[in-house]
Structure 1
Amino acid sequence: MEVFQVAHFVRLRSSVRSSRYLAAADDGTSVFLCGRRGVHNAVWAVEPVIGVIPGASAGPYVRLRGAYGRYLVATNYGAGRGPSDGVVAEQRDLGVRPTPPGYLWQAFRRRDSFVLRNGAGRYLRANGRFRRWHKDVSVAGDNASTMMQWRVEVVPPMASRPSLVDLPAQLMHRTNPPVESDLSRVIRYVRADNAGRYGEQEWAPVRVNTNNLTHLRLTMAERLGQNCDAGQITLCVRAGRYAHLSPLLVDLPMGNNPIHIVVLNHGTPARENPQTMGSRSKISLKLLVDSKSKKVLFAEAGKEFVDFVFSLLTLPVGAVVKLISAGTMQGSIGRLYQSVEHINASYLLPNKDRADLLQPKVLHPDARELLLLQPESGGAGGSPLARFKLYTCAGHCTTAAMEAKAACPQCKKAMDTEVALVLPSASSPAQSSAAASGGDGESSGYVKGLVTYMVTDGLEVTPMSAISSITLINKFSVGKDVELAEKYVSIAMDEGLGILKAALRSDTVLSDVFLAKKK
């Protein structure tokens, strides 16, 4: 892996077919062996992957991102008639977390070259040793073939931003130019702020009938208004909810699939390092309110907000008390929490830690993100929710412990190797692969995206429909003088904790949080 530790961008050249490079095809899906070293399609960005990956062998790993922002993946589709032919390699979106094993790659030195093994234990293979017209690339089991050996060429980053008239070379090998029906697609775009942040509710659609990058820049500048100069923006592809942003330096791929574009301004921190930017840790919500009575009738919500309110049910009671402060809790649970805080340690059993009661670990792996909390850190300002961890011994016996350093009952070694916890609700490999190709991350959280939900003031959640909303409005308006208005709000950590606190004591949660007068 040392070759990937020093590289941000690489070319992968076949050791046997020495003039052929692994390239992202301009259909946006397939990969093949390309004889043109200088095209941008033959350059792959290297993304280190941190942490333990369920279902994958020991790391470290990287992801390889191509010219269209999509990732090199070993699919489940057979590459030939027999099992020894392996599976097809493709470009795919990254729409799930953690990263599926098929997206993960390691480099191991073999003779004077490298072999690339993925998280499932298969190896990237060039084809066409004897049939020279054969340009396919597959992923197969290791049979010591030299066709699995690659030369890794480190590509230095560009010294300056390419101009509109000086873009990198790209694949343009089609004999017949494509017609409009081959290129018409919907672009979903959002403009990021100077820090590179944007809201998931801010995406807007526009239909284009060409794949030309310059035309797309001009279209984006026109849509964004008079203060937007096509020469002063960079268009970045986001190929899936959890993909890094990839500056678009070549024309769009052929086809009609929708593409997500994030627009960055030149001269901002986000433009200098687009991989550090992402969606804001906020959720947008549209409320229908009665301005006279200061009450919320209902909210129109997307997947993010519904996942958030559903995730409140995953919290242990001790975690809830810590999040909203024991002194402000109604009832007796706050005083019970304070009793545990203040009891002398001499009254506790020697093998018991009061932190297990005061700071219980959260089992659900996405709970911290869904609750809009910051990641764990070692300092006092870290997340109030500890992550549930499991440990095993170096011999990987069939035992696990919730605390490091416990002695393995089988081999007696210290159980200090962290292992991944996979919940029964986690997606199967087939579901993960399907979700990854869809690109919207619907396997994370609880409910499906692309649906609008109605959330009442008392947090009753149902799919949005015209009939249900009209019925609720009529029910609220009977015998009353109402003045209905729309109100847009953003939910970050403070508002999220306010919703949690209000949900424990009130039937008018949204009104209490967003319409109550500030004290």
Structure 2
Amino acid sequence: MTRKPRPASAARRPELQAMRRPPSLRARGRTSLMPRRSVELAPPTASASIHRHRPSPGPSSEQEGRFRVRAPPRLNGNSNLDSLEDAWRWAAGAMEQFHDGHHVWLRSRDQGTYLRADDDGSGVSMGQDRASFHAAWTVHTHHVGDDDILMLHSAANGRYLATGPGWTEQHLPGGNRASIILRDLNWDVFDAVSWFAVRSGWGDDVLLRHYSWRFLRADDTGVIADRFDGRRMARWQWVVEAIPPRNSIPRPPNPSPSFGVFERPIWFQRLAHNELVCMCFTGRSALHLWNQLSSRMGFEPDPNSTMCVRAGTYGRLTPLVTDLPGNNSAMVIFVLPPESLAGFGLTCPNVHAA
């Protein structure tokens, strides 16, 4: 008795299989590096390590993450190696739109709105206006084996796009969904800020897969990480729009009205000095902060110097060109002379570009 072939379904399409579990190419002697393989980030030591244009594994064995090498799929008599190769190429290769140190806008294909960091320094939402530093994201890539882990930090406050606390790879407090917030890049949240760019199969649109195998999805009011559902593909699709850099980094804006009193500790350091100095600062004005830092340093710094914020031990330096977030969280500020900006690869996005 001849068995009738099964009709093709969406679940068996190679491209959807690739999104759920990208196959590795055993035939080519490669394996796909997926979470959890051992990864190390170099610990900050001297002032030269406050910003790494491309971080490399460090010698420390005390801070190890757990990344495993995912096993290749089992093959049977009906397996087609060519289709697996095509599915892998479809799932990989979306990182060409994310260049380390460059700036991007992320626009939802479904909503037509832009991913943005909220003024409170911790929330993430969707908005129509892209001509804002809060809507600009700086690319931070970390190379692991044959793969690039994608991290995105806000051009407004330097904090990283991440899932909220409490999730694990197998369980989320809210079921299949995870909240999306901004977090500092410390070792204990490295998994939470790890994303992988995946081709969507629709032009140059991408899907952003989180370490937990949830995908970044926009809705009417905000953004979440959710399990993929191909029936409404556009909800998971993102248009990556490159932002050109400005010719120079702008000065801090003039003080704006602030509601409420925000007093926070500020840890600041000059590039040529290794010690961090702490001071208390009240308010949100970056211009007022600059004036207070100048008086605390005991001399008038170069007026072309730039204040930069570092969000977390392993965070990249971000020029501080907006008012401080509306909270009282501590901030780490570095004062860089103008000749140091090029060495650190620091640029500022031209958010008013057409």
TM-score norm. by structure 1 comes to 0.44
Q: Corresponding residue for 2:311?
A: 239
Provide the secondary structure at the position in 2 that maps to 1:29: coil
Structure 1 residues 177 and 189, CA gap change in structure 2 (3 angstroms): closer
Q: Does 1:271 align with 2:341?
A: yes
Q: Corresponding residue for 1:179?
A: 260
Query: 2-side partners of 1:6 and 1:26: how far apart?
Result: 25
Structure 1 residues 6 and 223, CA gap change in structure 2 (3 angstroms): closer
Write the letter of the residue equivalent to 1:119. Answer: Y
Q: Corresponding residue for 1:149?
A: 237
1:400-437, Cα deviation, whole Å (9 max, x unpaired)? xxxxxxxxxxxxxxxxxxxxxxxxxxxxxxxxxxxxxx
Provide the secondary structure at the position in 1 that maps to 2:294: helix
Provide the secondary structure at the position in 2 that maps to 1:63: strand
In the TM superposition, residue 77 of structure 1 has moved relative to its aligned partner by 5.0
1:424-480, Cα deviation, whole Å (9 max, x unpaired)? xxxxxxxxxxxxxxxxxxxxxxxxxxxxxxxxxxxxxxxxxxxxxxxxxxxxxxxxx
Write the letter of the residue equivalent to 2:224. Answer: S
Q: Corresponding residue for 2:36?
A: none
1:261 to 322, 333, 351: 333
In the TM superposition, residue 226 of structure 1 has moved relative to its aligned partner by 2.4
Q: Corresponding residue for 1:42?
A: 135
Q: Compare the two structures and name the one with the higher helix fraction.
A: 1
Unaligned runs of 5+ in 1: 53-57, 129-134, 277-519
Q: Corresponding residue for 1:368?
A: none
* Cα contact 1:237–1:259 (8 A) shared by 2: yes
Query: 2-side partners of 1:222 and 1:140: how far apart?
Result: 48
Q: Corresponding residue for 2:30?
A: none
In the TM superposition, residue 208 of structure 1 has moved relative to its aligned partner by 1.1
The higher-RCO structure (CA 8 Å, 6+ apart) is 2
- 1:82-481 to structure 2, matched below 5 A, reads 83-84=175-176, 86-96=177-187, 100-110=190-200, 111-112=202-203, 113-128=205-220, 135-144=221-230, 145=232, 146-164=234-252, 177-180=258-261, 183-193=262-272, 198-199=273-274, 202-229=275-302, 231-266=303-338, 268=339, 270-274=340-344
Q: Does 1:75 align with 2:164?
A: yes
Provide the secondary structure at the position in 2 that maps to 1:65: strand
Q: Corresponding residue for 1:17?
A: 111
Query: 1-side partners of 2:184 and 2:336: how far apart?
Result: 21
1:483-511, Cα deviation, whole Å (9 max, x unpaired)? xxxxxxxxxxxxxxxxxxxxxxxxxxxxx
* Cα contact 1:7–1:155 (8 A) shared by 2: no
Provide the secondary structure at the position in 2 that maps to 1:60: strand
Query: 1-side partners of 2:209 and 2:179: how far apart?
Result: 14
Write the letter of the residue equivalent to 1:33. Answer: M
Write the letter of the residue equivalent to 1:100. Answer: F
Write the letter of the residue equivalent to 1:189. Answer: F
In the TM superposition, residue 165 of structure 1 has moved relative to its aligned partner by 5.5
Write the letter of the residue equivalent to 1:140. Answer: D
Size of the aligned set, in residue pairs, is: 244
Write the letter of the residue equivalent to 1:185. Answer: R
Provide the secondary structure at the position in 2 that maps to 1:223: helix
1:203-232, Cα deviation, whole Å (9 max, x unpaired)? 111111111011111111111122424x32
* Cα contact 2:252–2:321 (8 A) shared by 1: no
1:63 to 146, 151, 163: 151
Write the letter of the residue equivalent to 1:8. Answer: H
Provide the secondary structure at the position in 2 that maps to 1:50: strand
In the TM superposition, residue 100 of structure 1 has moved relative to its aligned partner by 2.3
Query: 2-side partners of 1:164 and 1:260: how far apart?
Result: 17
Provide the secondary structure at the position in 2 that maps to 1:260: strand
Write the letter of the residue equivalent to 1:246. Answer: T
RMSD: 2.6
Write the letter of the residue equivalent to 2:111. Answer: R
Provide the secondary structure at the position in 1 that maps to 2:217: strand
Write the letter of the residue equivalent to 1:104. Answer: S
Q: Corresponding residue for 1:285?
A: none
* Cα contact 1:237–1:262 (8 A) shared by 2: yes
Structure 1 residues 177 and 213, CA gap change in structure 2 (3 angstroms): closer
1:343-370, Cα deviation, whole Å (9 max, x unpaired)? xxxxxxxxxxxxxxxxxxxxxxxxxxxx
Provide the secondary structure at the position in 2 that maps to 1:11: strand
* Cα contact 1:127–1:137 (8 A) shared by 2: yes
Unaligned runs of 5+ in 2: 1-94, 347-354
Query: 2-side partners of 1:261 and 1:62: how far apart?
Result: 24
In the TM superposition, residue 156 of structure 1 has moved relative to its aligned partner by 1.0
TM-score norm. by structure 2 comes to 0.63
Structure 1 residues 100 and 150, CA gap change in structure 2 (3 angstroms): same
In the TM superposition, residue 115 of structure 1 has moved relative to its aligned partner by 0.8
* Cα contact 2:100–2:139 (8 A) shared by 1: no
Provide the secondary structure at the position in 2 that maps to 1:162: coil
Query: 2-side partners of 1:6 and 1:220: how far apart?
Result: 30
Name the larger-Rg structure.
1
Query: 2-side partners of 1:273 and 1:253: how far apart?
Result: 27
Query: 2-side partners of 1:120 and 1:264: how far apart?
Result: 37
Provide the secondary structure at the position in 2 that maps to 1:271: helix
Q: Corresponding residue for 2:3?
A: none
Query: 2-side partners of 1:243 and 1:7: how far apart?
Result: 12
Structure 1 residues 48 and 121, CA gap change in structure 2 (3 angstroms): same
In the TM superposition, residue 74 of structure 1 has moved relative to its aligned partner by 1.6
In the TM superposition, residue 242 of structure 1 has moved relative to its aligned partner by 1.1
* Cα contact 1:211–1:253 (8 A) shared by 2: yes
* Cα contact 1:77–1:88 (8 A) shared by 2: no
Write the letter of the residue equivalent to 2:194. Answer: L
